[in-house]
Structures are given as C-alpha cells and as structure tokens.
Amino acid sequence: MSGGLSVSIARRAEAFSLDVTFEAGSGVTGIIGPSGAGKTMTLEAIAGLARPESGRIALGDDIFIDTTRRIFTAPERRRIGYVFQEARLFPHLSVAENLDYGARRRGSETGMSRVEVIDLLGLDALLDRRPHRLSGGEAQRVAIGRALLAAPRLLLMDEPLSSLDIRRRREIMPFLEALHRRLDLPILFVSHNIDEIVRLADRVLVLHGGRVAATGDVAAVLNRLDVQALILGEDGSGADPATIIEARIARHDEAHHLTELDVGGATLALSQLPLPVGSKLRIRLHARDIALATERPTALSIQNVIEAKIVELKPAGPAQIDVALAVGSSDAAITLFARITNRAAERLALAPGRQVWALIKSVALASDFGDSGRTA
C-alpha cells in the first residue's frame, strides 16, 4: 500500500499480549474494542513510545521498526501527530504559543499553514487564552492544531472525545469531519464509542484481547452481531443489536420541517437536517426501537412504517427474540433487527418468509450520537 501504514507487531505487557497485523491507507481508520483490547498499546508502538518484542511498522517506504533487521526510528523522526485523551497543552503558554510550538517541530517540512489550521479548527477567538480558560472541546481542538502544525505524515488520535460530555462532543465533531475532508494522510482514530466510528471512519479495525477480531467496511463489520457483542459485552444475549445503514437524503419537507431518507428503496422521515439533497450519511437503527405488525397499521403517531420480510428469528435470552428483517428492493435490500418478546412472536405467528411491517420509533443518527434525529 503505497504511502500507507503497515503494521505487524507482537508486544507483551505483564499478563497481556498484543499481536496485530493491519494496513491503513489515506483517510480515517477507526479502531474500536472494549477496554483492555490493546488500542492504546497499538498506537504507542506506532508512535515509538513503546517497543514491540517483534514485528515491523512502516509508513510507505519508511521503516519505523523492523526487529529482524534491528531498525528502530526515534519517535521525533517519525513525523507522527499524536492527540491524546487529554489535550496535554503547556499550561504556561497561550493557545497561540502552543500552536507555535507545534510549528517549530516541523522544521523544513511543508504542511498546513498556521492560518489554515486556525481557520479549519475555529481557533481565532482563542489565541490569547491560556489552557485553563478553555473548555474541554476547545482544548482538544488546540491539541489537534498543534499536532497538525508539526506537518505529520500520520495522525494518531487516542479517544480524543472520551473525556468530553455530549455537548462538547457535538461541538468538536464538525471540526473532526472537516479535518477528515481536508487531510490526505492516514488517520487512526481510537474510540470505544460505536457512533463516533460510524460518523468519522472510512474503515474499521476491531480489537479484542490484543488481536484483530475484524476489519473492513464500517457498516459491513459493525453490522455483524458477533462484533457488536465483542464491543458492547462479552455475552451477546445482553447486547442490543443495531443496524448501520448507508442512507441518502431524498428530499426535504419544508412545510413540516422533515428530511426524507432513501434507505434501500424504502423511505424514512426525521427532523430536518442541514444537508443538501443527495447527501449520504449513516444512521443506526436499534432493535429495541422497532416494533412489528402483521397487517399494515393505520391511525398511528409513528409515521415510519416500512414493509419487510422476516429472514430469521434468533433467541435473545429467556424472554426475547431477535427478528432479522429484509427491507427494500431485492437489488438494494438491507437487513434490520427487531427485538421483541417471545410471547409477541408466538401470538403473531412470526416465521421466516412472512411479510410484516416494521414500525420504527426512533432513528439514532450517528451525527448526533443518538441523542436527536428522532423520527416523525
């Protein structure tokens, strides 16, 4: 992979062992997994903050480490930008001086200018402040700006939103999206939050127990129930299944302040989005937010009712069952999951192949971390 990151390493830390192999090209590779999966250990090895016992790490033609050839490039020579969970700004320096520190590290390398970084991250009004006068989201934006001004060839972001509340996350996410569009370099974005990965990543790497459990397209990987169980809990029966869907904005209903999404040929309506018609986005539909009917319902406040066919019924504990549903035309069908009680399934006589109607009570928009974007 020309210009991309190639990693194949093994590392031990007390009783934990890390053994991962993957590649990451330009764009955002989301790395997700439960606590203790090895996410931070992986980033530390790439950055040169820790040495693996064996393996090889290379960025394009530059080899950072190759244990068989005894090659180890010092961290400061790797030209890697690292954004930690906490901003780690110099408290005695202003925002402008913190940014200048990053710029001094670039030496003769070219990259984004100071003006570009300040504009991209909305830092102009903050330049004279000291770190103690910044909100958590503002401090992280400054930390990202400092990393960018060092002209990195690779950007590592280790759960940069984990210490922020929902409001601060909402504030910083548009800046991260702008960063994604502007930069043409590999970005590794570590998170334990599925919605962050769904919103930002081009591809995903799932770590579990120090190993790569799955990798590939975001929706294809995170729609796997076994992967959801790994991320959300060891026992899959307790995890609430969700479906990640690639949707397209079909039209805006200005009179009712709604946006209609094309979802595999079916239509979903939700609160109006500030995006043009034709825009693509990802949404998450939770099994708990989908009810089923065996006849087309009428006179409901729930407006999102779509026709579906039952594909499979799978037990989800002693009292519940997960119903896999095929929605949309055959050439663009998607699979949804509805979680209902065993008694409801028996009373409705649900079985594979039966036609039903899915009543979608809410749409969890990845763009809002599931806290808004309610359906009509």
Confidence grade of residue 165 (pLDDT, cut at 50, 70, 90): confident
**pLDDT for 238 beyond 80:** no
**Given the DSSP bridges, would you call strands 54-59 and 5-13 parallel, antiparallel or unpaired?**
antiparallel
Distance CA 273, CA 226 (A): 32
Q: What is the DSSP string of 176-223?
A: HHHHHHH--SEEEEEES-HHHHHHH-SEEEEEETTEEEEEEEHHHHHT
Mean pLDDT within 47-61:
95
Per-residue model confidence (pLDDT) at position 13: 87
Q: Which residues of 204-227 are buried (b: 16+ CB within 10 A; e: fewer)?
A: bbbbbebebbbbeebbebbbebeb
Backbone Cα Rg of the chain: 23
Q: Residue 202 contacts by C-beta under 8 Å, 6 or more apart in sequence? A: 27, 28, 29, 218
> How many angstroms separate the CA atoms of 211 and 209, rounded?
6
Mean pLDDT of 226-251: 77
Which token pair is 322?
A: 């997960």
pTM: 0.85
How high is the pLDDT of residue 233? 65
**Nearby residues of 266 by Cβ (< 8 Å), 6 or more positions away:** 306, 307, 327, 328
**What does the DSSP 8-state code read for residue 278?**
T
Q: Which of 73, 87, 86, 4 is nearest to 45 (CA)?
A: 73
CA distance 309 to 303: 19
Q: What angle (nearest 5°) sits at the alpha carbon of residue 47, between those of residues 67 and 174?
A: 145
The closest alpha carbon to 33, from 205, 161, 155, belongs to 205
Question: What CA–CA distance (Å, rounded) separates 61 from 64?
Answer: 10
Q: What is the pLDDT of residue 322?
A: 92
Task: Return the number of other C-beta atoms located less than 10 Å from residue 308's C-beta.
Answer: 24
Sort residue 168 into left (φ over 0), alpha (ψ -120 to 50) or beta. alpha
Query: Any alpha helices (H) in the chain, and if so which ranges?
Result: 39-47, 95-105, 114-121, 136-148, 166-182, 194-200, 218-222, 225-232, 342-347
Cα gap 264→81, rounded to integer Å: 39
| pLDDT bucket at 237, cuts 50 / 70 / 90 | very low
What's the pLDDT tens digit per position in 324-373? 999 876 666 788 999 999 999 999 999 999 999 999 986 655 444 333 34
The CA distance from 160 to 137, in Å, is: 9
